[in-house]
Chains A and B, each alone.
Chain A
């Protein structure tokens, strides 16, 4: 409980996030090198798709991140609306560009995979359309936050939008079951296990862990800036700025 209270204070959040950053970055780089090695050199050629399927090691972790980050933002939005917690707002706002980037990456890599395998860059099937809608939600949150001058009001507005938009997550997830989609069903699931060669599954999981640590790293970089900006007139930020060489 004490830890929670300290994280809720911008000053302590700034300090603790600063201590975590090198670790998150370090673990990310180790996992990334391992994951890339497995993805490009260890995983065997697919008997149907040849080498093109190696896009999966970017596409699927990026798509998972696009939903994971949105879920974190919706939770932060709920916490902010119920307890008026400043740091939840900061986490929400700092996450949005990262989530938008992963959503964009998932869409474009999907397109680059779809062209050689399906013969088309894009179809309006339920999976692709709901993922595109997720990108618009992210962009909407970023735009809405930027459009409102007062940060606390802006924070409350984006909390509501993030929370309302969360209904899109189950739609994305179940779209391949509820509708007839060109997009394939899930190959990996928490309950059902994975229907793929372990030499293909391992890089997929390593890359998705790498992306999680990357998110933590960039989230803290961005959240610290957001804290600095919001607290620019407080004495602790002034002392920090005066004392710092860079």
Chain B
């Protein structure tokens, strides 16, 4: 197992590459999910305000 993690002495280069891919690709999925919640909340709030004004 530790042999595998060492990557023949190239651990830093290999795991930084895979790690960066993981971080970027996770962020690109999470950000639109948060954005969607924010958008729907915003539209809901606007609808409620309009109804009160009527």
Contact = CB atoms under 8 A, between A and B. Distances in A.
Contacts of B4: 40
A221 B32 contact: yes
Contacts of A222: 32
Given A54-B14, A109-B21, A225-B36, A98 B43 contact: no
Contacts of A225: 32, 35-36, 39
Given A105-B24, A116-B13, A238 B43 contact: yes
B25 A232 contact: no
B17 A112 contact: yes
Interface string A86-127: 000000000001100100110011001101100000000000
Interface of B is mostly: helix
Contact of B43 (A105, A115, A237): A237
A186 interface: no
Interface stretch (A45-53, A139-147, A198-206): A45-53
Interface of A is mostly: helix
Contacts of A218: 28-29, 32
Contacts of B39: 225, 228-229, 232
Interface string A199-223: 0000000000000001001100110
B8 A52 contact: yes
Interface in A168-224: 214, 217-218, 221-222, 224
A3 B9 CA distance: 53
A221 B33 contact: yes
Interface stretch (A55-63, A72-80, A129-137, A152-160): A55-63
Nearest to A61: B21
Nearest to B40: A241
Given A52-B7, A52-B8, A214 B25 contact: yes
A242 interface: yes
Interface in B26-54: 27-29, 32-33, 35-37, 39-40, 42-44, 46-47
Name the 5 nearest CB pairs between A and B, nearest first. A51-B8, A52-B10, A221-B32, A51-B7, A50-B8
15 contacts: A50-B9, A50-B10, A52-B13, A55-B14, A59-B17, A97-B28, A101-B25, A101-B28, A105-B20, A108-B20, A113-B13, A241-B43, A241-B44, A241-B47, A246-B37
Interface of A: 40, 45, 50-52, 54-55, 58-59, 62, 97-98, 101, 104-105, 108-109, 112-113, 115-116, 214, 217-218, 221-222, 224-225, 228-229, 232, 237-238, 241-242, 244, 246
Interface of B: 4, 7-10, 13-14, 16-18, 20-21, 24-25, 27-29, 32-33, 35-37, 39-40, 42-44, 46-47
